Structure 1
Amino acid sequence: MKRISGFLALLAAVMLLSPVCGYAEEKKEVTIETMTVTAQKTGQDIQDVPVGVSAFSDVDLDEHGIGGFHDLIDQVPNLFIRKNSADNAIVIRGISSFAGSLYSTAGFYVDGVNYPIHQMQDMDFMDIERVEVLKGPQGTLYGRNSQAGVVNIITKQPGNEFSAKAFTDIGMWDANGGKLIFKEGFSANLPLVDEKLSMRISAQKEDSNGWMRNVYKDTDAKETDHLSGRMTTRWTPSDDLGISFMVEGRKKHDGLGVYRYTDGPYATKRNELAWNGGNRNTVEANAQMLKVEYAGEMFDITSVTGRHSYTQDFINDMDLSTQNFGPGFEDSYGSYDIGVWSEELRFASKEEKGRAIDWLAGVYGYVEDADTVYYGYGLHDTEQDNWGAAAFGQGTWNITPAWHFTLGSRLDYVRLEGKKDLDLSSVGGGTSVLEGKIHSTEFLPSASLAYDLSDDVMTYVRVSRGYLAGGFDYSTSTTQEQFMFKPEYSWNYELGLKSTLLDRKLTANLATFYIDITDKQVAQLEPTIPNPENRRIVNAARAESYGAELEMQYKPVQALLLTSSLGYLNSRLRDWTTVDDPFDYDGKKTPGSPDWTYSVGGTYRWESGFFAGVDVTGVSSFYTDPKNTSKVDGRTLVNPRVGYEGDNFDVVLWAKNVFDEEYNENEWSWGGSTLVQQGAPRSFGLKTTCYF
């Protein structure tokens, strides 16, 4: 802690002295660039959107070394992720799904196409234009499973000028004698027919043996082998018509070895584990998107058609030790085979300043096949055939130049059909078939009132409703009664302020919120169930979440940019008392919800092209179980970087967790011992990028 404090003190001194001794180009206009976002499915300045939203440009992603969604969470207040071999669940403002759920409470979109299964959302960032994180229920414009918020990924689109870049990033994990990290990629923009047809292609690969070692088998346990590619073609046959077609694919072959015991008979040292079972995670996915945009005289029309195919197979040691859990229980394994088709057709008013009413309306539909296989307590083979449709609309009445009232609603219908072939012969039982149908029609309104205190300061109040669809327990249910569960619902109340101050040198955005969740889906322990997990998914709880978020950027001189964010969260379960396993959960904190999330950073650029920067990110302690018996300590990580930016190339020397802080991302009590999901140790490397 003393080393961190000393480092922060030195950084503060450098930041204070830099404007005095470093940069001569004082005549340049010093402002923070504005960012246009599509959070509400139309282009808007981020400072004009009456929603809590964090956004990162391609420059921001490179600046902070954000290579995937897991890296992004350190930069966004009240954003967290619950990740293990089966889960990749996004947690926003304390709202999350139960452990083992197939669906996330947060929507995830790539170029307007929904990636509904949370396993799909664990993607590497490649050739990204912008990432937007919307916080709070977004049901009106995004529908089901967006009650926590929405993540929008916007990829780079083809243009009419040739450009290309290639990069190599060679690093090392500071563990087990040093393990190399290799990452390389390229992107190219290719104009094919002047002003009519262009193409953009990109590819990326990452390889590493990882930082964990299986000392029982004397093998690496956290290997990484990723390959991604994308091709986007854009055709503009006329000034008012644009057609884009995107094809992308990705493959992963990883080790799952991040779990070790910290006490008990199977305890191991940091960066080591001891398993006698399997360790493999394989993913293959591909997606296609067709987007048609027509600018009419009276309004604009947009059609987005998407298809996504995703398969994942994993196997890991069942009890994560050198022993077997029991006869026939050396490994657990699972697979996901997901196929989704979707279509959204939108109509929107023309962009025009001074218009009395701005409006957006559309329809949406999807068809989804989700086949899952899970072997734990018996073999669970589940098929789901789901489809849904929705109609939505939103309008903004510009009452005066300063007052803006927005009202929206969505009618969202889903129909889910599930069938499970259950085989309990490995545990002394028999076979059976579980079946069910779920359908619901939900009304999802939202309303906001914004007031422009000045040209640079806006305050707003917002109310919105969201819901998480019902579903089927594909992994643990053994009876018809346990197979299905119903939707959960939430209301969000938000008060915010967005400001651009000091002649556009400072942006400061503040949001406060209260969220009320009813019919909360929870995994209720029931000792009468003959299953080691003893659980049943029920709509038994109520929960509430409230807090605040502050995000700031400050550019005192042209050479220096400072950023910071702070999130406070109080998220607790309410009105949940179990009977079979008697316990009163009222007042217990929701899992994966730290009270505090924070980041502070800065980058200083000299006129010569050299630069230096650092990010300090952290979270406070949090619980991993609803009874609040397993607690993960907080952490503060320091990630510095130095480099040179030239006309045709960049060189960056980077480090993550530079002080090698020992921390965990998850923790459980398992068989009388403490099992943890270890966080990454120190890593460092050199990234070189060439531009053509």
Structure 2
Amino acid sequence: MGNEDWSCPISLQTGTKEESVTFQSIKLSILCILSVSLAFSILTKEVNADESETYRLDEITVTANKHEEKIQEIPASISVFTAIDLEDANITTLSDLMNLVPNLKANDNNGIRDISFRGLGSSRYTFKNPVTIYIDGVPSDKVLFTDIDFNNVERVEVLRGAQGVLYGKNSIGGIINVITKPSGNAVEGKINTEFAEHQTYGAKGCVNAPLITNRLYLSLSDNYRKTDGYMTNDHPDEDTYGGYYENSFRTRMNWLPTDMLEMDFNASLYKYSGDHTSTIYGNTNEVVYHSYKDPDDELSKDSLNLSMSINYSFEKAELKIISTYTDAMYDRFSKRLYEGASMIDGGMKLELDTFTQEVRIQSAADNSFKWMAGLFYSNEDIDNKKQFAVYDTHETLGYDKHMNWPTKTYEDTIAAFGEVTLPFGRFNLTTGIRYERTDAAMDYRYEESRADTGALVKDPVTYHTEDDWDVLIPKGVLSWQYSDNCMIYASIAKGYLAGGYNLAEADADYARIDNQTSINYEAGFKTMHFGNRIMLNAAIYYMDIKDIHVLIEGIDTGTFIASNAGAAHSQGIEIESVFNVMKGLDLMASFGIIDGEYDEYLYDKNTDYSGNKLIRTPEYSFNVGISYRHDSGLFARADVCGYGDTYFNPGNTKKQSSYEIYNVKIGYKASSWEVYGYGKNIFDEEYFTNMDVLNTVGAPSTFGIIATLTY
């Protein structure tokens, strides 16, 4: 719906385009990274061969390309975080994770996370993010349901770039693949408690155990968290707002009836309830930690996710069948309590049902000649039981006007995809293609009534519309294994996001939105140095984007005009490095630059946004961290993450200037227990994570304690 709460209109201001002033910061950041790299080289020259062999980075094996491969041998931009990485960096939310990934940002937006990646943003009427999240095979690309539970997780793989060939569900921007920890033949478990400022409490636990040795395993995990929020409520009957509680329960059963057959059953339940996120009203650029919020404001989310996967191993191939089901609900209400507000309250209640079926056959893991082919089907129904806005029209009409769009949408997608890798000595050529067809329909309904009595003042507007989109999505990658520790690659791939419908368009002729496409060019290298003690990976990319999804809104009229901007482009650089300085001491760094602009964007006949910066896209992002773990159990880690100038409207008049956040964690780990103290944003940096009619305030400095028992 293209606004701060996805149900109510906002005003977009126009203005003179402000020129970027971040180049000095970018140059300084690059200089810092190069200086650190030089220091790495000097330090490692003093290391003898025996020590280099003793202290080295672990080899990480991933399944990002649907085969078990070492991450340094995959010709693509991939970031991987193990369970230890997540724990050491105190990663508890999706936003925490994205702080460590270059050019990937989560914009927390009134209970919704808009994900932006390499200049690609969310689609404001299909509710889709450019990045798809997989949790044990269950996909989600909806902005309303991007909650991730990192409890009992084995690793997280972040694939950057269009993913249409390898995964059942297509993704125009990338994949976040969450793999939970499988059980073994030994019983193991963990209990964790957390206490922090702002009346924050958390408890989580997990247990992994064999039910039948070597045949049947069970994993259970639960994660509970509650906070009062860090915003002061100016309402006389309330103290704070932005508080919530959430609970996530997950179970996984792994069954190996034969040596050739493996079956996985996964189920998860998630519940969230709060009084809204940390937003302030008004057209202001000043960060304050207070506002006037009504006690009746509420936001709740529930979801049930089920999946079953069957994997059968033949002598030269593997067959995998994955079925998933999601039943989710989003319910929000808020009053607009600020002077001059034309819209005085609004909200929505949405129910989502999704079923997916994927069948994939691929070469066995030990084959040098790799291939894969698959079929995919998904059915998605969205029922907007209510999606409303109430306007202050008492002086003109004698009553406040209640506008409601209880509209339903339906989407069916079928796809066939495949990929093959041909080895030519030290060269590998990978080609792949996907055919996808999406059939979408909408049952539109608009109601206008009196807010006081509920009586309709106009006959409802209703219509049914449907359409389809289909596409061929090619991909090609050429890689060169220059040496055992150096791989160079180049790729070209098409990105694709199917069209859809504007849920608030009264005219059926203007409701349809065309598909968005991109051509993605990327080149990079992956290297290991000094006895595998330094990992240094880098990539450059260019995206040519066509028909980018945009939205034109009228706050006073309640109209929403969905459209496609003509074109845009995004280009940038991404660097990631890890350095094992000595036993227990590691340095980590990541850095990304984005130059993204609208090439063609005629907002209306009087306003042209061509040449403006892409919205919700930081001009750069970086993270530098250092961690140390002593044999005695002492542990310390410090991180600094930063973002460049970010614009939140196509007129580039709403801007969050560059900022940095510093985090620390220190504690002690024994054989069966551990305790840590942590601080997030320790220097109390003030910033917004979203700027609209509702500006979302980033968290101030927060300190807490974590205690854990393991068995």
TM over 0.5, yes or no?
yes
Give the C-alpha shift of residue 211 in structure 1: 0.5
Structure 2 residue 256 is the aligned partner of structure 1 residue 236:
yes
Give the C-alpha shift of residue 103 in structure 1: 1.2
Give the Cα–Cα distance (whole angstroms) in 1 for the partners of residues 286 and 492 of structure 2: 49
Q: 1:635 maps to what in 2?
A: 659
Residue number among 466, 481, 494 corresponding to 2:509 in the alignment: 481
The range that moved more, 115-124 or 556-565, is 115-124
- Equivalent residues, number: 653
Distance 1:516 1:47, change over 3 A: same
What amino acid maps onto 1:181 in structure 2? T
Q: 1:676 maps to what in 2?
A: 695
Greater relative contact order, per chain length (Cα 8 Å cut-off, separation 6+): 2
The answer to whether the 8 A contact 2:168-2:375 is kept is no
Structure 2 residue 511 is the aligned partner of structure 1 residue 511:
no
Q: Secondary structure at the match of 2:509?
A: helix
The range that moved more, 613-622 or 481-490, is 481-490
Give the Cα–Cα distance (whole angstroms) in 2 for the partners of residues 100 and 85 of structure 1: 16
Q: 2:465 maps to what in 1?
A: 436
Structure 2 residue 531 is the aligned partner of structure 1 residue 531:
no
Distance 1:221 1:65, change over 3 A: same
1:130-209 matches, within 5 Å, as 130-142=155-167, 146-172=171-197, 179-209=198-228
Residue number among 618, 625, 634 corresponding to 1:610 in the alignment: 634
Residue number among 557, 561, 582 corresponding to 1:557 in the alignment: 582
Residue number among 526, 534, 549 corresponding to 1:498 in the alignment: 526
Q: 2:378 maps to what in 1?
A: 366
Q: Secondary structure at the match of 2:417?
A: strand
Structure 2 residue 564 is the aligned partner of structure 1 residue 577:
no
Give the Cα–Cα distance (whole angstroms) in 2 for the partners of residues 284 and 227 of structure 1: 10
1:144-543 matches, within 5 Å, as 146-172=171-197, 179-217=198-236, 218-261=238-281, 270-276=288-294, 278-317=296-335, 319=336, 321-322=337-338, 325-326=341-342, 329-352=343-366, 355=368, 357-372=369-384, 373-376=386-389, 378-400=403-425, 402-426=426-450, 429-474=458-503, 476-525=504-553, 531-532=557-558, 534-543=559-568
What amino acid maps onto 2:681 in structure 1? N
Give the Cα–Cα distance (whole angstroms) in 1 for the partners of residues 371 and 450 of structure 2: 58
Give RMSD over aligned pairs: 2.5
Give the C-alpha shift of residue 27 in structure 1: 8.9
Give the Cα–Cα distance (whole angstroms) in 1 for the partners of residues 465 and 580 of structure 2: 57
Give the Cα–Cα distance (whole angstroms) in 2 for the partners of residues 511 and 27 of structure 1: 27
Give the Cα–Cα distance (whole angstroms) in 1 for the partners of residues 134 and 684 of structure 2: 34
Percent pairwise identity: 27
Give the Cα–Cα distance (whole angstroms) in 1 for the partners of residues 556 and 635 of structure 2: 61
Give the Cα–Cα distance (whole angstroms) in 2 for the partners of residues 579 and 118 of structure 1: 27
Give the C-alpha shift of residue 535 in structure 1: 3.5
What amino acid maps onto 2:534 in structure 1? L
Structure 2 residue 573 is the aligned partner of structure 1 residue 548:
yes
The answer to whether the 8 A contact 1:390-1:411 is kept is yes
Distance 1:426 1:466, change over 3 A: farther
Q: 2:139 maps to what in 1?
A: 114
The answer to whether the 8 A contact 2:372-2:419 is kept is yes
Give the Cα–Cα distance (whole angstroms) in 1 for the partners of residues 383 and 248 of structure 2: 24
> Could you list the per-position Cα deviations for residues 86-107 of structure 1 after superposition, in whole angstroms to 9, with x for gaps in the alignment?
6322111110134454111222
Q: Secondary structure at the match of 1:72?
A: helix
> Could you list the per-position Cα deviations for residues 445-467 of structure 1 after superposition, in whole angstroms to 9, with x for gaps in the alignment?
10000001101100000000111
The answer to whether the 8 A contact 1:278-1:331 is kept is no
The answer to whether the 8 A contact 1:419-1:435 is kept is yes
Give the C-alpha shift of residue 313 in structure 1: 0.3
Give the Cα–Cα distance (whole angstroms) in 1 for the partners of residues 166 and 113 of structure 2: 24
> Could you list the per-position Cα deviations for residues 608-662 of structure 1 after superposition, in whole angstroms to 9, with x for gaps in the alignment?
1101110111101110001111111221111011111111111111110011111
Give the C-alpha shift of residue 472 in structure 1: 1.5
Give the Cα–Cα distance (whole angstroms) in 2 for the partners of residues 645 and 99 of structure 1: 45
Q: 1:22 maps to what in 2?
A: none
What amino acid maps onto 1:220 in structure 2? T
Give the C-alpha shift of residue 169 in structure 1: 0.9
> Could you list the per-position Cα deviations for residues 517-551 of structure 1 after superposition, in whole angstroms to 9, with x for gaps in the alignment?
111111135x6x9724x431112320100001000
Give the C-alpha shift of residue 113 in structure 1: 2.0
Give the C-alpha shift of residue 108 in structure 1: 1.7
Distance 1:263 1:367, change over 3 A: closer
What amino acid maps onto 1:604 in structure 2? Y
Q: Any unmatched runs of 5+ in structure 1?
A: 20-24, 173-178
What amino acid maps onto 2:357 in structure 1? E
Q: 2:64 maps to what in 1?
A: 39
> Could you list the per-position Cα deviations for residues 274-299 of structure 1 after superposition, in whole angstroms to 9, with x for gaps in the alignment?
13474211111111111111111121
Give the C-alpha shift of residue 166 in structure 1: 0.5
Q: 1:175 maps to what in 2?
A: none
The range that moved more, 430-439 or 187-196, is 430-439
Q: Please give the TM-score of this superposition, normalised by the length of structure 1.
A: 0.90
Distance 1:501 1:322, change over 3 A: same
Give the C-alpha shift of residue 210 in structure 1: 0.9
Give the C-alpha shift of residue 256 in structure 1: 1.2
What amino acid maps onto 1:344 in structure 2? E
Give the Cα–Cα distance (whole angstroms) in 1 for the partners of residues 685 and 287 of structure 2: 15
Give the C-alpha shift of residue 145 in structure 1: 5.2
Distance 1:593 1:233, change over 3 A: same
The answer to whether the 8 A contact 1:262-1:269 is kept is no
Q: Please give the TM-score of this superposition, normalised by the length of structure 2.
A: 0.88
Give the Cα–Cα distance (whole angstroms) in 1 for the partners of residues 628 and 106 of structure 2: 31
The answer to whether the 8 A contact 1:86-1:100 is kept is no
Give the Cα–Cα distance (whole angstroms) in 1 for the partners of residues 126 and 96 of structure 2: 22
